[in-house]
A and B are shown apart, each in its own frame.
Chain A
């Protein structure tokens, strides 16, 4: 899967750094630690900046190439920052058969996300995602933790509008 790799300069707080070190210490020496630490790091930073991956490699004493190999293999690991509101369109079969493509196209037209999937103001990011298992409500989109189901492309404008003023 093709990954968008961020070119934005990395900014992290001391608090984030402390939590990262804690995560590394917790799993150090354990079998299969790389994925678990990457998952925690993504929770801490929202994505996996290259300097963070370097720290994980050093901390766990594994080659950077191995960490990078894992982070680029799995679609859940993001190598570029997400928007404040993450819009995911389910393109599973049930949603697709019920018109998810039109919903996705409409979102793309309105949001006009850049190469890394983020809008210029950083407010929204858009991605197509794998089946989230809510097929009974197809087609479905999620915005952060909110789920919107039984949609048509005509519903999209209204939903996005409600986020513009938050």
Chain B
């Protein structure tokens, strides 16, 4: 069936909405990558089987995308019409029959399986639903509005939630210039990291005449610890397609490309399904909605190169070549993909577009801070109680995100730093916990927004080691085209290796700083220019840790192996001689029932004894 007019779309919307709201109980199973990995597929199968077994006809089981609470996967939400939803967490197939019996049949939620049972405050009437938890309350969902709500493999469910209405509005009621004006007024800035105003980018490309222009989507989410784009694509792929079509209309392009990393097979599969569905309905392809506008989208798979997240490198890669960046200007808006005017936006940026067109620029600009409007999605990870995907208004403080939404640090440990912006960003210390997060504030404190990965570190994390970790990453991912990045990051890494190896001296720190600024000023592309940030920000806020490594030859967090020493705590030691037997180099002296000791000159610090000792008697200092 083709949707040829706005009236056709409205008819599909009504039919789909009626089907969803037919009074049946709805069971949604979170089937994004995290959910699948945690075992959500067997849970879904069991729900279907159990409904069959019990002969229940007024309930349906559907898949959905990321619900957002990763550490509780697999997650299942039950919607009984007229009631608040109930969120079941850490689901297994065994738990299913009880939920069907008590909740679906008798209307009594199984509270001990709900998310409330996992909360500090214990179960309440409110927190048996995800929306009633502290994790959810500060959130404002725009980019993620459909994630965990609709079936990502059903275009009808997307249409039932105002899907493709923004495209219809743009094509039938607005001129391309109107669309750009709305985007500019909304204040939306690129969510990929640099924060360039989206409307302005579109305006530049619209102003350059050419026989062909391109709309690209950057789904090459390479920052380690970031999975916002994956979740949007797995949970709401049509939102990105719709936005790209709107962008195509605005700048005068008929062809779009989504460059997505091959490491995301589920997202790729769902995008392929979505593109096929949109084409079948005629919402992509020739003469969309009878307006004469044509737009097609193709997928291009990345092949594992971090630098391809940089815009010019990404375009070179779509051209099928080595993904090396090229100097700008000319900017892609003038000469991009195949030397034609091109715009490139990130997945999350696109996920905001349809809502802005529908609800207006003022609505969007009403959220956030003076220069950063709207919301931002963060992937919370690392040493934090609630790992997961959160969307908060710009201007929310780090303290609110980590302490309230994230539920603080587990295990009674102390917060040390939060890392944003991946290998291009920096570490934010406790003293800046109350900074309102937006693009400019983060840059002012030496980090950057980046794509939204937010990794929390506690007292057990060594900041020098973390800087080395990121440099290892950039050395590996440097494409090698320009010398400051290719050689500079390697030299920087070697200095960090020297320091964590216990051979650093204080003048190395100054040398590193000088080298950092040199790389920043001279590298060709964003990867190189930001590569020193992890070193600079840790030097700025955690210099004392560097000094401890260089002067005292100590690693305060107990991470850098070369500086550790292993000793036997004689009070805890039960003299069982197990460690003596597992030590691969025979460094532990002692026989059963007699005191043991470690010969430090022989010890290779492999940790085998620590792992074996049942009494925790081996102290690592």
Binding site for B on A (CB under 8 A): 1, 31-36, 38-39, 66, 69-70, 73-77, 91-94, 96-98, 102, 129-138, 140, 147, 149, 153-154
Contact = CB atoms under 8 A, between A and B. Distances in A.
B230 interface: yes
Interface in B267-313: 300-306
B322 A147 contact: no
B322 A138 contact: no
A93 B221 contact: no
A147 B419 CA distance: 26
B277 to A, nearest CB: 23
Contact of A74 (B34, B71, B323): B323
B542 interface: no
A133 B70 CA distance: 11
B455 interface: yes
A101 to B, nearest CB: 9
A34 B227 contact: no
A97 B387 contact: no
Contact of A134 (B34, B222, B322): B34
B147 to A, nearest CB: 14
Interface string B216-259: 00000111111100100000000000000000000000000000
Contact of B37 (A66, A69, A73, A140): A140
Q: Which 5 A-B pairs have the closest CB atoms?
A: A136-B70, A92-B224, A74-B303, A32-B320, A94-B381
B38 interface: yes
Contacts of A97: 381-383, 455, 457, 461, 466
Contacts of B70: 134-137
Nearest to B308: A74
Contact of B319 (A32, A73, A92): A32
A131 B320 contact: no
Nearest to A136: B70
A158 B74 CA distance: 23
Contact of A133 (B227, B419, B422): B227
Most buried by B among A39, A136, A137: A136
Could you say which interface size class chain B belongs to?
35 or more
Contacts of B388: 136
A137 B73 contact: yes
10 contacts: A34-B321, A35-B303, A36-B300, A39-B262, A70-B322, A94-B387, A131-B263, A134-B33, A137-B70, A147-B36
B370 interface: no
Contacts of B362: none
A77 B303 contact: yes
A164 B383 CA distance: 34
A147 B41 CA distance: 13
Contacts of A92: 224-225
Nearest to A94: B381
Given A76-B303, A97-B455, A137-B73, A131 B33 contact: no
Interface string B58-74: 00000000000011010
Given A31-B320, A97-B466, A133-B33, 7 more contacts: A1-B476, A36-B320, A93-B225, A94-B455, A134-B37, A136-B387, A137-B37
A33 B320 contact: yes
A147 B35 CA distance: 11
A75 B37 contact: no
Contacts of B36: 147
A130 B469 CA distance: 12
Nearest to A101: B469
A135 B225 contact: yes
Contacts of B422: 93
Contact of A138 (B221, B338, B381, B470): B381
Contacts of B221: 133
Nearest to B472: A91
A38 B301 CA distance: 11
Contacts of B466: 97
A24 to B, nearest CB: 13
A76 B261 CA distance: 10
A129 B261 CA distance: 13
B588 interface: no
B253 to A, nearest CB: 16
B569 interface: no
B567 interface: no
B133 to A, nearest CB: 16
A28 B301 CA distance: 18
Contacts of A38: 303
B338 A31 contact: yes
Q: Which of B33, B225, B388 has the most CB of A within 10 A?
A: B225
A93 B300 contact: no
B382 A98 contact: yes
A94 B304 contact: no
Contacts of A93: 224-225, 381-382, 419, 422, 453, 455, 469-470
Contacts of A76: 262-263, 302-304
B37 A32 contact: no
B32 to A, nearest CB: 9
A131 B381 CA distance: 12
B614 to A, nearest CB: 13
Nearest to A77: B303
B318 interface: yes
B396 interface: no
A138 B263 contact: no
Interface in B516-573: none
A105 to B, nearest CB: 9
Nearest to A88: B263
B379 interface: yes
Given A1-B476, A138-B387, A149-B38, A133 B230 contact: yes
Contacts of A1: 476-477
B354 to A, nearest CB: 24
Contacts of B319: 31-32
* Residue from the set B304, B422, B469 with the largest chain A CB neighbour count within 10 Å: B304
B227 A149 contact: no
Interface in B111-145: none
Contacts of A136: 34, 70-71, 73, 381, 387-388
Contacts of B73: 136-137
A58 to B, nearest CB: 16
A133 B320 contact: no
B355 interface: no
A70 B318 CA distance: 12
A1 B320 CA distance: 18
A133 B227 CA distance: 5
Contacts of B79: none
Contacts of B204: none
Nearest to B469: A96
B186 interface: no
A93 B223 CA distance: 9
Contact of B264 (A33, A133, A147): A133
Contacts of B457: 97
A73 B224 contact: no
A34 to B, nearest CB: 4
B611 interface: yes
A135 B320 contact: no
